[in-house]
Amino acid sequence: NAGVTQTPKFQVLKTGQSMTLQCAQDMNHNSMYWYRQDPGMGLRLIYYSASEGTTDKGEVPNGYNVSRLNKREFSLRLESAAPSQTSVYFCASSETINSPLHFGNGTRLTVT
Protein backbone atom coordinates (compact mmCIF):
# COMPACT_ATOMS: atom_id res chain seq x y z
CA ASN A 1 0.00 0.00 0.00
CA ALA A 2 2.16 2.86 -1.29
CA GLY A 3 -0.23 5.82 -0.72
CA VAL A 4 1.24 8.91 -2.39
CA THR A 5 4.51 8.42 -4.28
CA GLN A 6 6.69 11.32 -5.40
CA THR A 7 9.67 11.27 -7.75
CA PRO A 8 12.43 12.29 -7.65
CA LYS A 9 13.32 12.53 -3.95
CA PHE A 10 16.11 15.05 -4.54
CA GLN A 11 17.01 17.35 -7.42
CA VAL A 12 19.53 20.11 -8.06
CA LEU A 13 18.86 22.50 -10.93
CA LYS A 14 20.66 25.49 -12.36
CA THR A 15 18.74 28.74 -12.79
CA GLY A 16 16.71 28.61 -15.99
CA GLN A 17 16.51 24.84 -16.25
CA SER A 18 13.16 23.09 -16.35
CA MET A 19 11.90 19.95 -14.68
CA THR A 20 8.75 18.04 -13.85
CA LEU A 21 7.94 16.60 -10.44
CA GLN A 22 5.85 13.47 -10.60
CA CYS A 23 3.16 12.33 -8.16
CA ALA A 24 0.95 9.26 -8.13
CA GLN A 25 -1.61 8.00 -5.61
CA ASP A 26 -3.15 4.55 -5.31
CA MET A 27 -6.03 5.39 -2.94
CA ASN A 28 -8.55 6.19 -5.69
CA HIS A 29 -8.76 9.76 -4.40
CA ASN A 30 -10.49 12.40 -6.47
CA SER A 31 -8.51 15.47 -5.37
CA MET A 32 -4.78 16.11 -5.59
CA TYR A 33 -2.56 18.98 -4.47
CA TRP A 34 0.92 20.44 -4.71
CA TYR A 35 2.41 22.28 -1.72
CA ARG A 36 5.78 23.81 -1.01
CA GLN A 37 7.24 23.96 2.49
CA ASP A 38 9.76 26.61 3.49
CA PRO A 39 11.24 27.33 6.94
CA GLY A 40 9.08 29.75 8.92
CA MET A 41 6.41 29.88 6.22
CA GLY A 42 4.74 26.53 6.61
CA LEU A 43 2.97 24.69 3.84
CA ARG A 44 1.69 26.80 0.97
CA LEU A 45 -0.63 25.56 -1.75
CA ILE A 46 0.70 25.91 -5.28
CA TYR A 47 -2.01 24.23 -7.37
CA TYR A 48 -4.73 21.71 -6.82
CA SER A 49 -7.02 19.47 -8.82
CA ALA A 50 -10.45 18.95 -7.31
CA SER A 51 -11.20 16.13 -9.73
CA GLU A 52 -9.81 14.56 -12.87
CA GLY A 53 -9.84 17.10 -15.67
CA THR A 54 -9.76 20.23 -13.47
CA THR A 55 -6.93 22.29 -12.03
CA ASP A 56 -6.92 25.53 -10.03
CA LYS A 57 -4.37 27.95 -8.65
CA GLY A 58 -3.49 28.05 -4.98
CA GLU A 59 -1.66 30.72 -2.99
CA VAL A 60 1.67 30.68 -4.83
CA PRO A 61 1.17 29.50 -8.45
CA ASN A 62 3.60 31.84 -10.23
CA GLY A 63 6.42 30.01 -11.99
CA TYR A 64 4.63 26.64 -11.94
CA ASN A 65 2.29 24.64 -14.15
CA VAL A 66 0.44 21.42 -13.43
CA SER A 67 -1.13 18.54 -15.33
CA ARG A 68 -3.71 16.10 -13.99
CA LEU A 69 -2.73 13.27 -16.27
CA ASN A 70 -5.43 10.88 -15.02
CA LYS A 71 -7.11 10.12 -11.71
CA ARG A 72 -3.90 8.73 -10.22
CA GLU A 73 -1.26 11.18 -11.43
CA PHE A 74 -0.67 14.91 -10.93
CA SER A 75 2.57 16.51 -12.11
CA LEU A 76 4.17 19.87 -11.30
CA ARG A 77 6.37 21.60 -13.88
CA LEU A 78 8.93 24.34 -13.37
CA GLU A 79 9.53 25.89 -16.82
CA SER A 80 12.47 28.13 -15.86
CA ALA A 81 13.72 27.44 -12.36
CA ALA A 82 14.72 30.31 -10.06
CA PRO A 83 16.62 30.22 -6.73
CA SER A 84 13.37 31.35 -5.00
CA GLN A 85 11.92 27.96 -5.96
CA THR A 86 14.41 26.14 -3.73
CA SER A 87 12.07 24.31 -1.37
CA VAL A 88 10.61 20.99 -0.36
CA TYR A 89 7.64 20.08 -2.55
CA PHE A 90 4.86 17.85 -1.28
CA CYS A 91 2.13 16.20 -3.26
CA ALA A 92 -1.06 15.25 -1.43
CA SER A 93 -4.38 13.64 -2.21
CA SER A 94 -7.79 13.51 -0.59
CA GLU A 95 -11.01 11.62 -1.17
CA THR A 96 -12.77 14.85 -2.04
CA ILE A 97 -12.15 18.56 -1.58
CA ASN A 98 -12.30 19.32 2.18
CA SER A 99 -11.39 15.75 3.18
CA PRO A 100 -8.17 15.22 5.14
CA LEU A 101 -5.02 15.22 3.02
CA HIS A 102 -2.59 12.33 2.63
CA PHE A 103 0.95 13.44 1.79
CA GLY A 104 3.90 11.96 -0.04
CA ASN A 105 7.40 12.21 1.40
CA GLY A 106 8.45 15.19 -0.67
CA THR A 107 10.95 16.26 -3.30
CA ARG A 108 13.86 18.37 -2.07
CA LEU A 109 14.71 20.83 -4.82
CA THR A 110 17.71 23.15 -4.86
CA VAL A 111 18.09 25.78 -7.57
CA THR A 112 21.56 27.32 -7.85
Partner 1 sequence: QKEVEQDPGPLGVPEGAIVSLNCTYSNSAFQYFMWYRQYSRKGPELLMYTYSSGNKEDGRFTAQVDKSSKYISLFIRDSQPSDSATYLCAFYTGTASKLTFGTGTRLQVTL
In the shown chain, the binding pattern of residues 22 to 61 toward partner 1, with x for contact by CB under 8 A and - for none, equals: ---------x--------xxxx-x--x-x-----x-xx--
Q: CB 85 → partner 1: shortest distance, Å?
A: 19
Residues 6 or more apart from 5 whose CB is under 8 A from it? Answer: 23, 24, 25, 26, 104
The stretch among 11-19, 21-29, 74-82, 102-110 that binds partner 1 (CB under 8 A) is 102-110
Distance CA 71, CA 96 (A): 12
112: amino acid identity, one letter = T
Please list the residues that pair with 73 across neighbouring strands.
24
> Residue 48: how many CB atoms within 10 A of its CB?
22
When binding is defined by CB under 8 A, the residue of 14, 28, 53, 100 that contacts partner 1 is: 100
When binding is defined by CB under 8 A, the residue of 16, 97, 110, 112 that contacts partner 1 is: 97
Distance CA 25, CA 92 (A): 8
Which residue ranges make up the site for partner 1 (CB under 8 A)? Answer: 4, 31, 40-43, 45, 48, 50, 56, 58-59, 90, 92, 97-98, 100-106
